[in-house]
A and B are shown apart, each in its own frame.
Chain A
Amino acid sequence: MQISSENLIAILHDVFPECGDMTISQETQLGELPEWDSMAAVNLQTSILQQFQIEVPLELLADQTTVQEVIDFLHNPVPHEAAC
């Protein structure tokens, strides 16, 4: 699957079916997704790994992280350092 915001948003809708008709944009923060928590973050991490073959660090999949920031990482998957 090609890395794009459309495809990532499709993954988010699949992982979070509770989103229903909610509009997910590049500015949407992960914490705004219904049922978002640390367990759900792993489900998102697993789905991204399956679709894009890239493991996103869990530290990046935080409440304040936007969809665009995840896309940016997927385009440039450098080792991530957790903020201190």
Chain B
Amino acid sequence: MANAAIKATGSYVPENTIHNEALEQFPKTAQLLISQKTGVISRRHADPDQCTSDLALPAARRCLEKGDFAPGKVEAIILSTSSPDRIQPATAVRLQYLLEAVNAFAFDINSVCSGSTYGIALAQSLIRSGMCTNVLYVAAEIYSKILNPKDFATFPYFGDGSGAILFTAQEESQGVLGSLLFTDGSKHNTICIPGGGTMLPFENMQDTKAAYFQMKGREVYNFAVSKGTEVIVRLLKKNQIPIDTIKCFICHQANVNVIIKIAENLGVSEDKFYMNMFRYGNMASASVPIALNEALEKQIIGAGDLIVTAAFGGGLSWGANLIQL
């Protein structure tokens, strides 16, 4: 049975850089808290006329170009987003059109910030089942358009961006060696956009704030540290991989303090954790593919290395993937 191996990666962030000092809607005394609490110094924002598939396209193109892979050869496109173009149809279908990947079937998944671990596991499943010989996984998010600009508890910490990974069928010793995915649906209100769906349609909304992303920060921090640590331990145990053989941990870039705590819990140097939230903020499901692409481009990781990707977020959902590059 073939495994899903990473053939190429790509990423894209909008040019518009917003530094903490530019967030003038918040008191100056509060602006220092942003970097202290989360490590975020700046983030990128999409242009007003850009939608999520517009961000997905350059990441996908860069990925395919790097892999010298014609769009017409792509068999499937999985796009993870929690900030889609529209409620329907899937954001992936416009990407398929723009990319001219005419032979690919395309669909979205929404596991909020955990989208990357779910997308990677799903790509692996499509290839291992024999249904596809290649899968283009793309994560794209524009949180700047779903956040309340006046909400200090959310707005400063997120950014916009996209990442892509092209998986192709390879021999079993390479590629995605294992994945673990988890969901706790009892916490479905912990991270959510309350309005705009069938639970609270627009016409029933009494407060426009219901249309914005909301998050119970303290609860999410504890969840991320606890489950982020646990899922990595369980993944390595299940696959009988000693933790010191992992070259790099690429975690969801939610908060520098969450990652430092996970590293501490695992007894691993934080230097082994790739981090870029300082420049980009939390880009939800796009954060892991973008970090992975950067780590590869900077040659922090390369062919033959064992890496772990891990993410946690709305659902609540969490997961991790063990990958041999």
Contacts and interface: CB of A to CB of B under 8 A. Distances in A.
B272 interface: no
A13 to B, nearest CB: 11
A49 B152 CA distance: 14
Interface string A32-61: 000101111011011001000001011000
A40 B30 contact: no
B195 to A, nearest CB: 12
A42 B152 contact: yes
Contact of B217 (A37, A49, A55): A37
A17 interface: yes
A43 B151 contact: yes
Given A38-B37, A39-B217, A55 B152 contact: no
A45 B25 CA distance: 11
Nearest to B153: A39
A52 to B, nearest CB: 13
Contacts of A42: 26-27, 30, 33, 152-153
B209 interface: yes
Nearest to A49: B27
B218 interface: yes
Contacts of A58: 29-30, 33
Interface string B12-42: 0000000000000111011001000100000
Among B25, B26, B27, the one with the most A-chain Cβ atoms within 10 Å of its Cβ is: B27
Interface string B206-249: 01010000001110000000000000000000000000000000
A11 to B, nearest CB: 13
Q: Binding site of B, secondary structure by majority: helix, strand, loop or mixed? A: loop
Contact of A38 (B25, B33, B209): B33
A38 B30 CA distance: 10
Contact of A35 (B26, B30, B216): B216
A43 B216 CA distance: 14
Interface residues of A, number: 14
A17 to B, nearest CB: 7
Nearest to A39: B153
Interface string B125-156: 00000000000000000000000001111000
B216 A39 contact: no
Contacts of B216: 35
B29 A57 contact: yes
Contacts of A35: 216-218
Nearest to B154: A39
Interface in A2-53: 17, 35, 37-40, 42-43, 45-46, 49
Interface string B274-295: 0000000000000000000000
B27 A43 contact: no
Contacts of B33: 38-39, 42, 58
A17 B27 contact: no
Given A38-B33, A58-B29, A58-B30, A43 B152 contact: yes
A17 B207 CA distance: 10
Nearest to A48: B27
Interface in A66-82: none
B200 to A, nearest CB: 13
Among A37, A39, A45, A49, the one with the most B-chain Cβ atoms within 10 Å of its Cβ is: A39
9 contacts: A38-B37, A39-B217, A40-B217, A42-B30, A46-B27, A46-B30, A46-B152, A55-B27, A57-B29
Interface of A: 17, 35, 37-40, 42-43, 45-46, 49, 55, 57-58
Task: List the 10 closest A-B pairs by CB distance, nearest first.
Answer: A42-B152, A39-B153, A42-B30, A43-B152, A37-B218, A39-B217, A39-B152, A37-B217, A55-B27, A45-B27
